[in-house]
Amino acid sequence: MSDNIKNTTPAGSDSDAEKPDGQDGSSKEYDNEASTGKSGGMSRRKALKYLGAGTGALMIGGAGGFYGYRKSLQLSSAEASRVSKAKFVFAGGSIGSLTVAARLLRAVPGADVTIIEPREEHHYQPGYTLVGAGVYNREDVIFDQGSLMLSGMKWVKDYVEAFEPERNRVITRNGDAIPYDYLVVGLGVETNHGSVENLSKALETDFVSNVYNLEKAGKFRRMADAFEGGRAIFNYPTGYVKCGGAPQKITWLSEDLWRSKGNGLRERSDINFFTPRHTVFPAVPKVDDAVRPLIEARGIKNHFHHTLRAIDTSTRTAIFEQSSESGETREVRQPYDFFHAMPNFRTPKPLREGPLTREGIGGQLSVNRNTLQHTQYTNIFGVGDNAATGAAKTAATIRKQAPVVAGNMIDDILGRELSNSYDGASGCPLLTRYGRCMMTEFDFDGNLQSEWLYQPTRETRFWWDFKVHGLKRLYRHVMLNGYV
């Protein structure tokens, strides 16, 4: 970890990147071996399944790892040989894709793995909140994408333009057609600035930012440092949210920063959190019960059932829609001197407008939430934020999903029942103030896991230090090397 990381005393690709509008249709094939079979029934995959039953006892990879032990990932040499004949393509060089790919290569060093990712920089996004809080510098969260590509990973530096699941291939922006036997979709989700009227314009002013993008997180930090008091507002969006704890965390850290300045700044600041939901952290009721009184005791005003609709930059006013219990709505105008403004999220265009989603899931990949297999195309799997599992969208989720995806693809190749099941486990380090964190791990239903370990209803220094100094190492050295 970089020496740049500051101590806990407060101190002083845009996901909306350009998206392709279409393709010219001039696809060229990379590999003529590509199958043209249909969903889950292509001849090449069948062939892989029946490529001889090995009896060798040599166990390759899958040596347990730090976090998981998956039987599907412990293979005989004959099984590994069958798996190595499959062509795996990963859409997105995301933490999700790379962790699955690394896990696969750990089990089968000869696996044929291709990653389609246009960007040269990979961002450690869980660190964005700490950039906004002035604990990390921008370079602390940037990895060279090439350094994350393990030996055996082929990197196609291009955008996925379209999915063609009926032909088992992906079309890139350059017009290349990349065939696969198995496809893993890990494109993440992006902020949708168009969901709030005038947000893009507001983000160019000196009073509005957010921590959902590295440049804006830096700007947020500068704004927080320069704040001299007044009305500060923070909002939570509707729909699915990447790291559903981050908008709250940055509110609480800002309050702590201004309080710690000790020059009356806190007293001059009116701090407000607006959310469409009925409470602060509904994902885990037990944690919500613990954290909400702590926050309210610090004078942060929570406003529930409020959805941000527009921003008027000329009068510095945020326009919310407030809904009542009976479902009536009314417009509420909130002036601001400082605004952490959040739009909704969406999936990248090839996913939200392509054949791999379905009605009612907000453009996400349609998967079985336990096996993470696509609901229609059995040779397609999803990992991370873009998958419609209903689980929290965090890197902690991916740590649990990656071995499930790798194991189930291997099961499928070997003609076995899918034996790995994702249980919805996710985590969230709630940074309640500088030097304090409530660490939570929970399942699909918001039930806490390993309470004895995390002590999730307590603010502790230990979990703050773990978040600041430990989790990035876990991400870089454990997840990205496939030790999950």
Question: Which residues of the shown chain bind ligand FAD in the complex (CB under 6 A)?
Answer: 13, 91-96, 116-119, 125-126, 128-129, 159-160, 186-188, 211-212, 242-243, 246, 348, 350, 384-386, 393-396, 398, 429
- The answer to whether 59 touches 93, Cβ cutoff 8 Å, is no
**Exposure of 146 in the CB half-sphere (CA atoms within 13 A):** 2
Nearest Cα to 384, choosing from 95, 9, 159, 154? Answer: 95
Of the two residues 61 and 186, which places its CB atom closer to ligand FAD in the complex?
186
Which residue's CB is nearer to ligand FAD, number 14 or number 267?
14
- Sort strands 160-164 and 169-172 into parallel, antiparallel or unpaired: antiparallel
CA distances from 155 to 79, 98, 104, 350, 375 (A): 26, 11, 16, 19, 27
Contacts of 352 (CB under 8 A, 6+ apart): 346, 362, 363, 364
Is the CB of residue 99 less than 8 Å from the CB of residue 482? yes
| Min separation Cβ 427 and ligand FAD, Å | 6
- Select 48 or 425, whichever has its Cβ closest to ligand FAD: 425
**Residue with smaller CB distance to ligand FAD, 243 or 484:** 243
State the nearest-atom distance from the C-beta of 75 to ligand FAD, in Å: 25
With respect to ligand FAD, which residue has the nearer C-beta, 96 or 363? 96
Distance between first and last Cα of the chain: 20
- In the complex, the smallest distance separating the C-beta of residue 67 from ligand FAD, rounded to whole angstroms, is 14
CB of 384 to ligand FAD, least distance (A): 2
Cβ closest to ligand FAD, residue 248 vs residue 307: 248
| Whole-number Å distance between alpha carbons of 350 and 189 | 12
Q: How far is the CB of 383 from ligand FAD (least distance, A)?
A: 6
- Copy the structure tokens of residue 21: 């509008």
- What is the closest distance, in whole angstroms, from the C-beta atom of residue 297 to ligand FAD in the complex? 24
**Residue of this chain nearest to ligand FAD (CB atom):** 384
* Phi, psi at 165, each rounded to 5°: -65, -25
Detail the DSSP E strand segments found in 139-290: 142-144, 153-156, 160-164, 169-172, 176-179, 182-185, 190-192, 208-209, 230-235, 269-274
Alpha helices, H only, 108-187: 128-132, 145-148
CB nearer ligand FAD, residue 44 or residue 122: 122
Minimum separation from the CB atom of position 140 to ligand FAD (A): 14
